[in-house]
Amino acid sequence: MSEPVEARIMLSLPQIHCAACISAVERELARTAGVKSARVNLTLKRVSIEAEPDTTAEDMVRVLAGIGYEAHELDAGTLRATETDKRGRDLLMRLAVAGFAAMNVMMLSVAVWAGAQETTRELFHWVSAAIALPAIAFSAQPFFRSAWAMLKVRHLNMDVPISLAILLASAMSFYEITQGGEHAYFDAALSLTFFLLAGRYLDHRTRAIARSAAEELAALEVPRAERIIGETVETIAIAELAVGDLVRVKPGGRMPVDGVVTDGQSELDRSLLTGETVPVFAGLDTVVSAGEVNLTGPLTIRVTAAGEDTSLHRMADLVAMAESSKNRYTSLADKAAGIYAPGVHLLALLAFIGWLFVSGGDIRLSLNIAVAVLIITCPCALGLAVPAVTTAASGRLFRKGMLIKDSTALERLAEVDTVVFDKTGTLTQGQPELTNMGDFTRTDLEIALALAEASAHPLAVSLAHATTTAGTKPAKISDLREMPGYGIQGLWKSKPVRLGRATWVGAKAGAQTATYLQIGNAAPRAFTFNDRLREGAPEAVAALKAQGMSLVLISGDGPAAVQDMANRLGFDDWTAEALPQEKAARVKALSEEGAKVLMVGDGLNDTAALAAAHVSISPATALDAARVASDIVLLGHDMSPMADATIIARKATKRILENFGVAAGYNMIAVPIALLGFATPLMAALAMSASSITVSLNALRLR
């Protein structure tokens, strides 16, 4: 008999943010029975657990909930592609080879420049060639492959002149040493390769942080479910479920499928999908969706859609489509390169033909001048024009508490004229706050606290926290029972007491979020709650409006709560009870009308809209998938830096255009010098470096 395979569990931990969180999670899991090891990845906000075969993800979620950390099971197989970064390792390896080779060749070049003569000079040139040519052939492959891919489809990009400059400098240098020439330019070719690879690797790392939100969403789908067959229950993969099967979902578990409730009563937390802050009742014939959380009672669900057919999976498809459409945005540097590259090639060709004619057929001289023209016009300054500014602007925004994830985000942010906000968790803290504790006697509060402590309902948790903070002690209540879908009840001094839904205690529900307390036969009274505004939200909204932005509020919450928020912050355009696809559709409609939309959201229900927007922002407290779908992450709790971000983005775009002007001005001066034959390839490489430094210094003005 084969030995049981150990369980490998991966959980998303959206709330962790520091080394203390890592220690707390790993320490608690390590002392849990059945766990062999637990490793937290703070960057990805995940924990990977190896445990005994009978250990389940639900067990681990409960353990972490006990120490105050929210956790969601992830499908490790779905995320396997995001765990490996072969391209990043490949670029880093090529960068290291180019850097090592460049340092060695430069040391040999110093000896040549110092006046090494004949045999010694030739020896150093051949040693340089032996180091440089294999290193360039290996390290410059990313540029060569990109250039060849463009040439095959008869297009040009920035990698075409870069590849030509590297190849011609190498070839010309090799030709020079075979003819006993005094000069070789292997150091210039290697330096060019090294610095361009460094830029390419940094760009790749930026993009690697912004992993596919569609993959994150797919990984959030519950990988297994408990199927009921007669009197038995079996745990099977979601892929094995069929329409009509019966599935059991325990309290605290997420819905693995779309379906209809056939047995049981509970409350559902739909905030993950719709943004609704208040849990909704679920009873017989209630329609449920994959991703919703079952709060209080066990439910039996008849499957109507599973796997790729669920609403959660359809949302992942929406995000994937929106991401692909955003990727069609062309950066300013790419647009400039499309114009610049053909001119560079044509100029170098004309220089070669012209000097071939003037020199009476001297191929060596003509090729030297053509290479010098190609190197002196190599688009390094053009290539740095955008990254240098982006780096300076990103650093300034980081100090203000904003992290830029996408390489073109600043350019897109500068074009924004419309801002769409989600409500819950974005403009607000996403946590109910008791507003009328002063309306109750101390006895009322003691009874309410005792009842609230027996429930995991968000309103009960908030009530318990507020009353405990105020110094209230729980009353002695016997026969405490949670009634799934309704509330908590018990006996206080032989009187029945209840805390829960309005209909359950015989009250009339008001427009405000509330839970109701009834003591004996007395009239029920409401504990009311508001969602507290996020710090800096009023200032951010006012500043964006002052900049002339059109502001829109879209939320999955009910009309009363959304209208109240719109009135508090000054939104004229607001929409309530919006489903995820409706949010994405509204953003798309605004875009089709010509608006450049900035979407600000934090939930799973916002991911499609975040991906569909021209540019997007999410707070650091957002769900993993929302942060991944966004271009910019708000690191702190204060929203006020958002208004600064749009101003800095416009300034950054202005600096980018100035840098293009610097690059163009440099070429107007340097190119004629090269064309007239007054610049060797080495001098051309030095001039190219000078233009790059000028561009970088101009970018630093943003700091």
Average pLDDT, the chain: 80
Say how far apart CA 487 and CA 685 lie, in whole Å.
Answer: 75
For 602, which DSSP code? -
Q: Could you tell me where the DSSP H helices lie in 179-237?
A: 186-209, 213-220
Q: Are the C-beta atoms of 245 and 235 separated by less than 8 Å?
A: no
Say how far apart CA 600 and CA 610 lie, in whole Å.
Answer: 7
Say how far apart CA 489 and CA 498 lie, in whole Å.
Answer: 4
For 405, which DSSP code? -
Has residue 617 been placed in a domain? no
Say how far apart CA 169 and CA 374 lie, in whole Å.
Answer: 9
pLDDT (tens digit per residue) in 674-690: 888 787 666 666 666 66
Compute the half-sphere exposure of residue 291: CA atoms within 13 Å on the CB side of its CA.
27
Find the CATH number of the domain harbouring 34. 3.30.70.100
Is a pLDDT exceeding 80 seen at residue 266?
yes
3-state class of 533 per DSSP? Answer: strand
> Would you give the distance in Å from CA 599 to the centre of its chain?
14
Q: Are the C-beta atoms of 551 and 566 separated by less than 8 Å?
A: no
Burial class of 381 by CB neighbour count within 10 A (0 to 12, 13 to 18, 19+): buried
Say how far apart CA 234 and CA 296 lie, in whole Å.
Answer: 22
Q: Residue 81's pLDDT is what? A: 44
From 74, 92, 120, give the residue that closes a domain. 74
What percent of the chain shows pLDDT beyond 70? 79
What string of DSSP letters covers 605-639? Answer: GGHHHHHHSSEEEEETTS-HHHHHH-SEEE-SS--
The answer to whether residue 422 is catalytic is yes
Has residue 117 been placed in a domain? no
Is a pLDDT exceeding 90 seen at residue 449?
yes
Q: Which has more pLDDT, 417 or 178?
A: 417
Task: Copy the structure tokens of residue 595.
Answer: 């608006």
Cross-strand pairs, 632: 404, 617
Q: Nearest-CA neighbor of 577 among 599, 601, 558?
A: 558
Q: Are the C-beta atoms of 619 and 633 separated by less than 8 Å?
A: yes
Has residue 579 been placed in a domain? no
Cross-strand pairs, 237: 224
Task: Copy the structure tokens of residue 50.
Answer: 């190896």
The residue type of 233 is V
The pLDDT confidence band at residue 590, using thresholds 50, 70 and 90, is: very high
Has residue 687 been placed in a domain? no
Has residue 435 been placed in a domain? yes
Phi, psi of 217 (to 5 degrees): -65, -45
Has residue 287 been placed in a domain? no
> Would you give the distance in Å from CA 19 to the centre of its chain?
21
From 532, 567, 602, give the residue that closes a domain. 532
Is a pLDDT exceeding 70 seen at residue 338?
no
Q: Are the C-beta atoms of 594 and 612 separated by less than 8 Å?
A: no
What percent of the chain shows pLDDT beyond 90? 16
Cα torsion angle, 342, 343, 349, 350, sign:
positive
The residue type of 379 is P
Is a pLDDT exceeding 90 seen at residue 83?
no
Distances (CA, A) of 618 to 204, 301, 606, 610, 654: 22, 34, 9, 8, 25
pLDDT (tens digit per residue) in 629-668: 788 878 777 888 888 889 988 888 888 778 777 777 777 7
Q: Name the helix (H) or strand (E) containing 59.
A: helix 57-65
Orientation angle between helical segments 213-220 and 76-83, nearest 10 degrees: 150
Q: Nearest-CA neighbor of 76 among 134, 11, 147, 135?
A: 11
Q: Residue 327's pLDDT is what? A: 46
Cross-strand pairs, 248: 226, 300
Residue with tokens 């996020």: 534
From 43, 74, 105, give the residue that closes a domain. 74
CA dihedral of residues 50, 54, 60, 62 (deg, nearest 10): -170
pLDDT (tens digit per residue) in 103-123: 888 888 776 666 667 777 778
Q: Nearest-CA neighbor of 302 among 252, 260, 345, 354?
A: 260
Task: Copy the structure tokens of residue 686.
Answer: 């030095």
Instruction: Kindly report the pTM of this predicted structure.
Output: 0.60
Task: Copy the structure tokens of residue 349.
Answer: 């060709």
Among the residue ranges 80-89, 192-201, 295-304, the one predicted with the least confidence is 80-89
Find the CATH number of the domain harbouring 466. 3.40.1110.10
- Count up the domains in the chain and report the number: 2
Q: Are the C-beta atoms of 380 and 191 separated by less than 8 Å?
A: no
Say how far apart CA 658 and CA 389 lie, in whole Å.
Answer: 10
Q: Mean pLDDT over residues 200-221, rounded?
A: 56
Phi, psi of 38 (to 5 degrees): -145, 125
Q: Are the C-beta atoms of 93 and 197 separated by less than 8 Å?
A: no
- Give the largest CA-CA distance in the chain: 115
3-state class of 264 per DSSP? Answer: coil
CB atoms within 10 A of CB 493: 12
Is a pLDDT exceeding 90 seen at residue 533?
no
Domain range holding 5?
Answer: 1-74
Burial class of 180 by CB neighbour count within 10 A (0 to 12, 13 to 18, 19+): exposed
Say how far apart CA 645 and CA 27 lie, in whole Å.
Answer: 39
3-state class of 225 per DSSP? Answer: strand
Among the residue ranges 129-133, 304-308, 398-402, 599-603, the one predicted with the least confidence is 398-402
Has residue 84 been placed in a domain? no
Q: Which of 422, 531, 557, 631 is catalytic?
A: 422
Q: Which has more pLDDT, 392 or 676?
A: 676
Distances (CA, A) of 169 to 183, 321, 379, 624: 11, 43, 15, 47
Q: Mean pLDDT over residues 300-312, rounded?
A: 82
Is a pLDDT exceeding 60 seen at residue 203?
no
Has residue 559 been placed in a domain? no
240 Cβ contact list (under 8 Å, min separation 6): 227
Q: Are the C-beta atoms of 603 and 623 separated by less than 8 Å?
A: yes
Q: Residue 84's pLDDT is what? A: 44
Say how far apart CA 195 and CA 690 lie, in whole Å.
Answer: 14
Is a pLDDT exceeding 80 seen at residue 155?
no
177 Cβ contact list (under 8 Å, min separation 6): 122, 125, 126, 129, 184
Strands 46-51 and 7-12 come out as antiparallel
Say how far apart CA 480 and CA 276 lie, in whole Å.
Answer: 28
Task: Copy the structure tokens of residue 642.
Answer: 């958002």
Total count of residues recorded for the chain: 703
Is a pLDDT exceeding 80 seen at residue 289?
yes
Say how far apart CA 266 and CA 607 lie, in whole Å.
Answer: 27
Say how far apart CA 40 and CA 625 lie, in whole Å.
Answer: 18
What string of DSSP letters covers 97-165? Answer: HHHHHHHHHHHHHHHHHTT--HHHHHHHHHHHHHHHHHHHHHHTHHHHHHHHHHHHTT---THHHHHHH
Is a pLDDT exceeding 90 seen at residue 128?
no
pLDDT (tens digit per residue) in 18-67: 667 788 888 899 889 889 888 887 656 778 888 888 888 888 888 988 88
Is a pLDDT exceeding 90 seen at residue 496?
yes
**Strands of 35-41's sheet in order across:** 35-41, 46-51, 7-12, 72-74
